[in-house]
Amino acid sequence: MDLSHTEIFHFEPFRIEEGKVNEFAKALGIDEVFTDNTAVPPTFFTVIDYWNDRDFYQMLEEFNIPSNNVLHGEQSYEYMVDVFIGDTISAKATLLKTLHKNNKIFYFLETIYTNQMKITVAIGRATLIELELDSA
Amino acid sequence: MKELPAINFTIAQSNLVRYAGASGDFNELHTVPQSAIERGHKNVVAHGMYIMGLSSNAIMRWFPNSKLQHIKVRFHSAVYPGGKLTINGKWTIKDAVTQGSIEIIDNDGQLKLIGNFKLNKSIV
C-alpha cells in the first residue's frame, strides 16, 4: 500500500497587527518594541498558523492527523524576505509525505508563506509524529 | 567551531500561559495540567514552538547584527514548568556564511532540543 500522498490546506490571509507582534515578542521575553520597520520575530509564523480563522488544528483535521496524539518532532524555517507589521500573509500548507516506521507515523508538512506582493517570505517545514498506541 | 556563551533560564508555568495566549496554541497538553497528566505527563508540556522561539532569541542575542536565514530544530524530550535549562551554541564561518549549532539541556543533562542555523552574512 502506498501511504504517501499529497494534500493542500490554505490558511486565511492574516494581517500582521502591531499589538499581536508585541504580545508575542513579550511572551518570548524579547526586550524590544516592534514598530512598522522592525521585522517580526523568526517564529512569529506560528501566530499566523494558530490565530488564523482556518487554523492549524483545522488543517490537521483535514489532513486526517489526530491532533491529540501527535508530537512536534522537528521544525525548520527558511527566511527569504522580512515580514513587517501591516503585511498580509497568506499561507499554503502541503502534507508532503506520510511514513509508517517503528510503530510511529511521521507526517512531513511544508508551509509556504507569501506576502501581499505575492513574494514568498518564508518556508516552514514540520515533522509531526503520531504514536500508534493500539498497534500490537 | 567556537563556543558561544551559554544562556540559562527557568521555565515558569505562567510563561507557558502567556505563550499560549500570544501564539494562539491552546492545546490542553500545554494549558490544562489535568489533561496533560491524563496523557502521561507530570504537568503541562511547554510548546515546542516556545522552546524554538527561545532558541531563536539566543541566536539573535549571540549575533545581534545578523539576520536569521535558516533554522532547524529537533525536539528531543518534554519541557515542564520549573525546568532549568541551558542553551549552548557553537559557530563557524564557512563559505562566508555564519553558521552554527544549538542545543538545550536541562540541569540533569537531559537533551531537550538540538538544531542548526545559518545567518545571512558573516559578522565577526
Tens of pLDDT, residue by residue over B91-108, are: 999 988 999 999 999 999
Distance between CA atoms of residues B87 and B102, nearest Å: 7
pTM value is 0.94
State the complex-level ipTM: 0.94
Q: Could you tell me if B91 and B4 are in contact, meaning their C-beta atoms sit under 8 angstroms apart?
A: yes
**Which of B35, B27, B25, B30 minimizes the C-alpha distance to B46?**
B30
Contact B52 A75 (CB under 8 A): yes
A27 near B CB under 8 A: yes
Identify which of A43, A49, A74 has the shortest CB distance to residue B56. A43
Contact B52 A56 (CB under 8 A): no
Q: Tell me which amino acid residue A113 is.
A: Y
B48 near A CB under 8 A: yes
Q: Say if residue A4's pLDDT is above 80.
A: no
**What are A9-53's pLDDT values in tens digits?**
999 999 999 999 999 999 999 999 999 989 999 999 999 999 999
Strand residues in A19-119 grouped as ranges (E)? 70-79, 88-101, 104-114
Residue with cell 508563506: A113
Q: Could you tell me if B66 and B72 are in contact, meaning their C-beta atoms sit under 8 angstroms apart?
A: no
Query: What integer pLDDT is reported at residue A3 of this predicted model?
Result: 47
Give the confidence band of A135 by pLDDT, cuts at 50, 70, 90: very low
Q: Say if residue A108's pLDDT is above 60.
A: yes
- Most B-contacting residue of A32, A50, A52, A129 (CB-CB within 10 A), to test interface: A50
Please give, rounded to a whole number of angstroms, the shortest distance from the CA of A33 to a CA of chain B: 14
Q: Cβ atoms within 10 A of the Cβ of A33, count?
A: 11
Average pLDDT in the A61-66 region?
94
Q: Could you tell me if A55 and B24 are in contact, meaning their C-beta atoms sit under 8 angstroms apart?
A: yes
Q: Range with the lowest mean pLDDT among A5-9, A14-18, A124-128, B89-93?
A: A5-9
Query: What integer pLDDT is reported at residue A6 of this predicted model?
Result: 62
With b meaning 16 or more CB within 10 Å and e meaning fewer, what string describes A100-112? eeeeebbbbbebe
Rounded-to-10 torsion of CA A82, A60, A62, B70: 30
Distance between CA atoms of residues B97 and B79, nearest Å: 32
Rounded-to-10 torsion of CA A71, A74, A79, A83: 20
